[in-house]
Amino acid sequence: MAQAAPSPVEEVVSVFSANIHQGMGDLETMLAGIWYRLRHEGQKLDPRARPPGYRSQNLRDLLKKEYGAHRTSLWGGTALRGNFDPKKKAHIISFLKAVNRLPNDPRVLEAAFSRCARLYASKVNSLHPEVVLPKDAPIQRQLLQALNTPSEGKVQQGIVYALTRMLTKRQAPHRSVTTKATHAGDAQSAQLGDVRVLEGDKPLVIYEVKAFPLDQAAVDRILPAHGSHSYTLFILSLGFKPPELRTVLCSMENTLALNLVDHCLAIFAGLCSISGESPQALLQELILTYNEEFCDKIENDPSIKIRVDEQG
């Protein structure tokens, strides 16, 4: 006996589930296809074109409020330009084709959207579990654990921001330290670099924080935005490929290329030296600054908060 073909809803959910490993922007764009049909009386889509509203804040708010996603992308599918390339975005095209096969029935469209939205929420909520540090571990081990947390660079940028805030507060309290959401581009955020130290409106130090081994392709994306600069540019990464790339970067005017982890440990050691405060007290301040200023106010992502396990 021939097996019955899956229902249109099951087909949509199956295609979405098969591509759940794709980036958040792509998944939100796929969801936007069903969302558009829901809000426009079932009007069908061009599978090769970006669905109207694919970067809508309303869609991202809906995913958080109604479907429990702890976070979404900040700006939607910012990497999508023009029509979808079948070689690179075949998963979006096939999904939108499946969405077009859904009947013009609000209940069916709602069911498809709801099931895919819950899959999205489950995926993003599992990406970055809360960072829990062992209570009685040595301070350096706790810092290393936090800095080595897989988080698409969020934890690392937040720690660089918090350490820079702490150091600036003690050495030059009249200066300000700013940062931005991790995946916000320079043009979108109107802020050059990932972390900045400012004297008024003038940048004195800019950090580019890259939680991966830096290669020439990544350097080619970073440097043009800075051009010739009078501020000190720190390029922090988890290594350089090839190692000689670090030497090349350091030969540039007002530019330093450093290992991200080593830099953070050195700043923390410097804080211990200049403040006279205990490492334990400084770690508590670091965690508080990171959690309240970066996770809550900048990143809006409670899943990457750091806490110390009081059970040991």
3-state secondary structure of 162: helix
Pick the residue with more confidence: 2 or 250? Answer: 250
pLDDT in tens, 49-96: 999 988 899 999 999 889 988 778 777 776 677 899 998 899 999 999
In the predicted model, what is the mean pLDDT of residues 168-195?
Answer: 84
**Rounded distance between C-alpha atoms, residue 308 and residue 312, angstroms:** 8
Looking at residue 79, what is its pLDDT? 66
Angle at 300 between CA 291 and CA 261, to 5 degrees: 50
Helix (H) or strand (E) holding 196: strand 195-199
pLDDT band for position 18 (50/70/90)?
very high
CB of 62 within 8 A of CB of 32? no
Task: Answer whether residue 212 shows pLDDT above 50.
Answer: yes
**Mean pLDDT computed over every residue of the chain:** 90
Each residue of 192-215: b (16+ CB within 10 Å) or e?
bbbbbbbeeeebebbbbbbbeebe
By mean pLDDT, which of 61-75, 160-174, 226-240, 265-279 is the weakest?
Answer: 61-75
The confidence score (pLDDT) of residue 190 equals 66
Cα 283 to Cα 302: distance, rounded to the nearest angstrom? 19
Using the predicted structure, report yes or no on whether residue 271 has a pLDDT greater than 70. yes
pLDDT at 158 (0 to 100): 97
Closest by Cα among 289, 76, 66, 59 to 170? 289
pLDDT tens by residue, 87-141: 889 999 999 999 999 999 999 999 999 999 999 998 887 765 568 898 888 999 9
pLDDT at 1: 47
pLDDT score of 90: 94
pLDDT of residue 78: 64
